[in-house]
Amino acid sequence: MLRFTFWCLLTVFLVCVFATQVSFHSSHVEWQPGALGDNDLEDWSLDTSPHPNSTDHLVFETVHSLLQRWPNTRMRNGHAIVPGIIPKGTLLYHGTTSNVFPTMHEWFATDPEHSYLFCGISVEAECWLFTIATTRPLKVVYFDGSSAAKLQDGALDTQDLLLWGEPRGGTAKEDMQRIEDICKWGGKYKVDAFVSEVMLCDPTSGVRVISSSNLASPLTQWPQKTLLEVSAFEIMNAAAWHNRLPGETRVHLNLAGLVTFYDTQLAPSLVPIRAGQERWDHRVQGISSEDLSATRTRLEEVLTRQEGLSSGIDWASLIQVIVDRYAERLDSVQYLLSAPATNPDDVLDLANKTQTQLRTELDWATPVFRLCATTHTCSMDSELSFMTDSEKLVLQAVRGTTREICRVVTKMWVAGVHAGIDPLLNTKEHFDVAKVAHLRNAWLEDLNHLITWLDWSEWVKCNPACDREEVCYLPTWPVGFPGGDKLGYVSTIFPPITEEWIRPQPKCIRRVAPYGF
Ligand SMILES: *[C@@H]1O[C@H](CO)[C@@H](O)[C@H](O)[C@H]1NC(C)=O
Ligand SMILES: *[C@@H]1O[C@H](CO)[C@@H](O)[C@H](O)[C@H]1NC(C)=O
């Protein structure tokens, strides 16, 4: 049995290596932005970390975050534009002060809690909530990040750049202009709607009104402060249903049409702008006009491409499989390594020498690293000719990301083998405790580095977990946001927070009264 497994592994390995050699002819190329194979798959040194300008991990996490609110609340400045559909029979909601159903482009929501607030502008106004159902699949374009938040600092960049070539930010006036212009643009490609909120371009086509309800205005039910608090929390809660996988399931995206400003081949001018920045600070403004027009052209291609012209690979699942495999494990190893332990200084030097030895003796571990790094993707080389540019980008992201995970994990494992604590290989009778303590520190450093690089939203949670009367919350627009007072009143009730919203961190807040952020 063992023998059989071994031969299977070896066969897979050989197939992969063969394929690798066919596709990745260059042995030691300079790093080029994003080209497939540029990840230097011939370089299996355990000390070669990813190039600082590489965006493989960012594209990987982008794909893994699509349509989920949590990661897109944390990293608000979206970079990706993805075509998709809203299937037939999907309900959408629209809250307004008039009983006349709109006939022009309008905002719709996937949850009524969200729409309800929009009929409560004043005590005198009536409150109408329209429910509509799609009668055919709607062709949509999705923007990632907090692309419905009316912010000035980058959340609307991708839409604005696409439309106007420059960011204009989020006032009500710009908002009207944006939906008008985006629908005009999308009309050329028969796009029915744009999604973060649903900007429906023609409410007379592809949808049917199911009901129109004249509801008590939210303002007549509660005093203003209470209304705002309750509404804010209910909107937040409704949105939180889509926080994590499977995310907003009423929108189906086609990853074979993914276009992202993290594609360094498509938008190389953004590479120097991002250099040295943390992800929160990435913006797409400053892109060169050539890169912008190349991106527009790519998007037009994607939107006019015949259906079915792609490899058929399920990229979302592939990425999920990899996250499932590593997210929890890396997290728990980090936890174990972070537990305090004493570490006598005098053996540190010796441990260091062992570590140096390790690095020079690594050759035998290379096959393990290589197999680990290519096992998810090596079979895909034969599909390359069927892949769209978007798919090649995702493939590269998966390769670059798994390669780094495997590099670090293999390196750590090797260190354990050398220290004699591996139960199957080179096991020692007696341990030098201090040496092992040092090993733990080295492991922790490597692992922290990897975890920071990957920065998966999976790991962003309230710890300890929240109480039954609480929810885990990431500061977000509009409540409590600087600029959130665009709604006119919010900041007077919840004073603007400053630092917290730039780099949102999770925290437990109350889910029922008395509320507070
Ligand atoms: C990353 O890109 C910037 C801008 O193009 C460049 O100045 C820098 O040298 C690059 N970093 C490395 C390590 O090559
Ligand atoms: C380990 O050794 C290297 C070179 O021999 C040295 O540069 C480094 O400072 C040492 N580190 C520790 C923690 O002793």
Task: Fill in the amino acid letter for 467.
Answer: D
**Bridge partners, residue 472, by sequence:** 508
Mean pLDDT to the nearest integer, 406-410: 89
**Bridge partners, residue 494, by sequence:** none
Residue that is written with structure tokens 């349509």 in the block: 67
Same domain for 109 and 147?
A: yes
245 found inside a domain:
yes
Residue of 165 and 497 predicted with greater confidence: 165
DSSP string of 311-325?
A: ----HHHHHHHHHHH
Distance CA 171, CA 483 (A): 9
**Bridge partners, residue 195, by sequence:** 142, 198
Nearest ligand 1 atom to alpha carbon 31: 14
Name the residue with the closest Cα to ligand 2, atom 7: 352
Distance CA 301, CA 69 (A): 28
The closest of 217, 336, 255 to 65, measured between CA atoms, is: 255
Which residue of 53, 264, 269 sits with most ligand 1 atoms within 8 Å of its CB, as the best mutation to test the pocket?
Answer: 53
Q: How many domains does the chain have?
A: 2
- For residue 237, the number of C-alpha atoms closer than 13 Å in the C-beta half-sphere is 15
70 found inside a domain:
no
Residue 498 to residues 96, 155, 463, 483, Cα–Cα distance (Å): 32, 17, 22, 11
Give the tens place of pLDDT for each residue, 126-167. 889 999 999 999 999 999 998 887 777 788 899 999 999 998
Same domain for 122 and 226?
A: yes
Residues in the chain: 517
Same domain for 355 and 220?
A: no
**Bridge partners, residue 404, by sequence:** none
492 found inside a domain:
no
Give the tens place of pLDDT for each residue, 25-60. 333 334 454 444 434 556 788 888 999 999 999 999
Same domain for 231 and 184?
A: yes
CB count in 10 Å sphere of residue 104: 12
137 found inside a domain:
yes
Rounded to the nearest 10 degrees, how much is the dihedral formed by the CA atoms of 430, 435, 437, 440? -100
485 found inside a domain:
no
The closest of 263, 266, 248 to 142, measured between CA atoms, is: 248
**Residue 23 in this model has a pLDDT that exceeds 50:** no
Same domain for 224 and 331?
A: no
Nearest ligand 2 atom to alpha carbon 352: 1
Same domain for 141 and 246?
A: yes
Residue 440 to residues 47, 213, 335, 336, 342, Cα–Cα distance (Å): 18, 63, 11, 9, 11
Highest mean pLDDT among 6-10, 20-24, 276-280: 276-280
Same domain for 14 and 115?
A: no
Distance CA 336, CA 275 (A): 33
Give the tens place of pLDDT for each residue, 351-361. 444 444 444 45
387 found inside a domain:
yes
Same domain for 44 and 101?
A: no
Examine the fold and report which residue of 281, 304, 327 is the final residue of a domain before the chain moves on: 304
Which amino acids bring their CB within 6 angstroms of ligand 2?
348-349, 352
Name the residue with the closest Cα to ligand 2, atom 11: 352
pTM: predicted TM-score of the whole model, two decimal places: 0.84
Same domain for 266 and 322?
A: no
516 found inside a domain:
no
Q: Which domain holds residue 93?
A: 76-250+255-304
Give the tens place of pLDDT for each residue, 74-133. 999 999 999 999 999 999 999 998 899 999 999 999 988 888 877 766 667 788 999 999
170 found inside a domain:
yes
- Residue 13: predicted pLDDT: 37
The closest of 169, 179, 101, 88 to 141, measured between CA atoms, is: 179
**Residue 496 in this model has a pLDDT that exceeds 70:** no
Same domain for 381 and 232?
A: no
Give the distance (Å) from ligand 1 centre to CA of residue 53: 6
Same domain for 221 and 365?
A: no
273 lines ligand 1 (CB under 6 A): no
Same domain for 80 and 45?
A: no
Nearest ligand 1 atom to alpha carbon 53: 1
